[in-house]
Structure 1
Amino acid sequence: MEKENTLVKADQSETKFASIQDYKIAYRSIGKGLPIILCNRFRGNLDDWDPAFLDALAQKYQVIIFNYKGLATSTGTPHETILGFGKDAIDLADALKIDKFILGGWSLGGWAAQVATTEFSNRITHTILIGTKPPGKVNHPLEEIFIKTAYIPEYTLEHETILFFEPASEASRNAAAESHKRINKRENKDQKVKPELWEYYGKSHDDYWNDPYNAREKLMQINIPILIISANHEVCFPPENWFELNQKLPTATLITIAQTGHGPHHQYPEMVTRYIDNFIESN
């Protein structure tokens, strides 16, 4: 396992590349301790995690973020299945000589994390899901405003507030502005995911919706502790989809945060980190 300088902050961390067969996965790593690998959202690159959240996690964990194969600064051809997205985390762990680790995922990254958890359960100690939905068909869809906003080429603070926060809440709007500043503080920016590659996310969505891996059923039988963090106004993945499974997931803990949107860890980086830390310590 790599040793990292705990004094390095997320917005100053170095971008590195792990060789996986004939392509490379771009990643950053800060902190030390139990490894936690985080799978990113739709269109997300290495800069789209709030550094305050990463820094808070890095107080106790080795925090690793990465770009999926073929997206942003990772090379190769992007995946067309959600299993491919999830396996990137496994392949990266192999390249870094990490045997067992905590797997996290935000939004689409939560899909990847769930499928990777059920397919490679011998590698995962805990699973952390933020702003995401269960595998397979769900009864509570996303809001139309999310689709209209998510495909805008360049996000402004206003777009980020709609997508990841709660526009009706002054506190959430203020948190959006602060998170925006933290994310944009970094000088050596990562490459954006090119619009012509967004179709690969759509293909992975269809795969996740059809659930050929039977991941939903496997989650109902798994013994890996799962923490689900959601919001009272989830514009993308309503927590009601989890409520319907609440009695069927034997190891899952569900937290919903008031006056919050699709990115609760960006609105409350320290608080969400405490939830994660307490969950890991207790399971």
Structure 2
Amino acid sequence: MDVRSRNNVVVTGRPDGPVVVLAHGFGCDQNMWRLVVPALAENYRVVLFDYVGSGGSDLSAWSEERYASLDGYAQDVVDVCAELDLRRAVLVGHSVSAMVGVLAAQAAPERIGALVMVAPSPRYIDDEGYRGGFTAGDIDELLQSLESNYLGWSSAMAPVIMGNPERPGLGQELTDSFCATDPDVARVFARTTFLSDSREDLKSVRVPTLVLECVEDVIAPREVGAYVHAAIPSSSLVTLNATGHCPQLSAPEATAEAILGFLRSL
């Protein structure tokens, strides 16, 4: 199957510019990047795509077996990079895609030369000496609720994840994005995301890395950003003056400025 159509690949920006690949998170698609793309596209070649099962991807290519681990999503990233013959691209991953980017860089180091992690979390469940933000019971309850009533869960959780209650349109956009995802796909993606533990994988990162966190984020609290930064020697940490888990929507100018500052430093 053609990767470009399978993953709904879109290429924009400066054709001869350095390459930036934007990878969306759970329940989202490439449209979530639309407010930062114009700033990046002025001087960079920008590649957007949807994971199989998300957005405008080919749902017939989805299988629970492949996407029951983060490696399946990492393979999507590698496939897109290989299809476009990208070399030393900068991968910008939002939320769970930050860890997907780490795995993709492991699998195809010639394709990915730097990482930008937007609101990353290598593990969502608290552990001894580690705060992920949720207890195991919290995550069990979250997954059970999602699986029993996905649309209801989306309507309740998306505004909480987005934050910024004074701007209800943001929460509604994330709700609409969640609700547009096939419930079976969402169930698998959610389990893959919220039960993952990528802390050991962080030790493999050898490329320049920017960790972007928000001042307040219920999904990835500040302790997580500090942990990721400490685990990757080649990383820098920037705290955006923004709240919520999706700064590319709630604070697109600040998000784009931070990404561009990192790109210019490479």
TM bucket normalised to smaller = 0.7 to 0.9
- CA offset at residue 118 of structure 1? 2.8
Q: 1:27 aligns with which of 9, 12, 18?
A: 9
| Pairing of 1:1-283 with structure 2 (within 5 A) | 19-20=2-3, 24-32=6-14, 33-47=17-31, 49-75=32-58, 76-78=61-63, 79-134=67-122, 139-142=130-133, 147=142, 151-152=150-151, 160-167=158-165, 173-174=166-167, 177=169, 192-205=180-193, 208-209=196-197, 211=198, 214-219=200-205, 222=206, 224-283=207-266
Unaligned runs of 5+ in 2: none
What is the alpha-carbon distance in structure 1 between the residues aligned to residue 83 and residue 160 of structure 2?
37
Matched length: 247
Larger helix percent? 2
Contact in 1 for aligned 2:163/2:244 (Cα 8 Å): yes
What is the alpha-carbon distance in structure 2 between the residues aligned to residue 136 and residue 121 of structure 1?
26
Contact in 2 for aligned 1:100/1:123 (Cα 8 Å): yes
Counterpart of 2:30 in structure 1: which amino acid? L
- CA offset at residue 105 of structure 1? 0.7
- Residues 5-24 of structure 1 show CA distances to partners (whole Å, capped at 9, x for unaligned) of xxxxxxxxxxxxx8149x82
Contact in 1 for aligned 2:24/2:97 (Cα 8 Å): yes
- CA offset at residue 236 of structure 1? 0.5
**TM-score normalized by the length of structure 1:** 0.73
The percentage of aligned residue pairs carrying the same residue is 18
Contact in 2 for aligned 1:68/1:88 (Cα 8 Å): yes
SS of the residue aligned with 2:62?
A: coil
Counterpart of 1:215 in structure 2: which amino acid? D
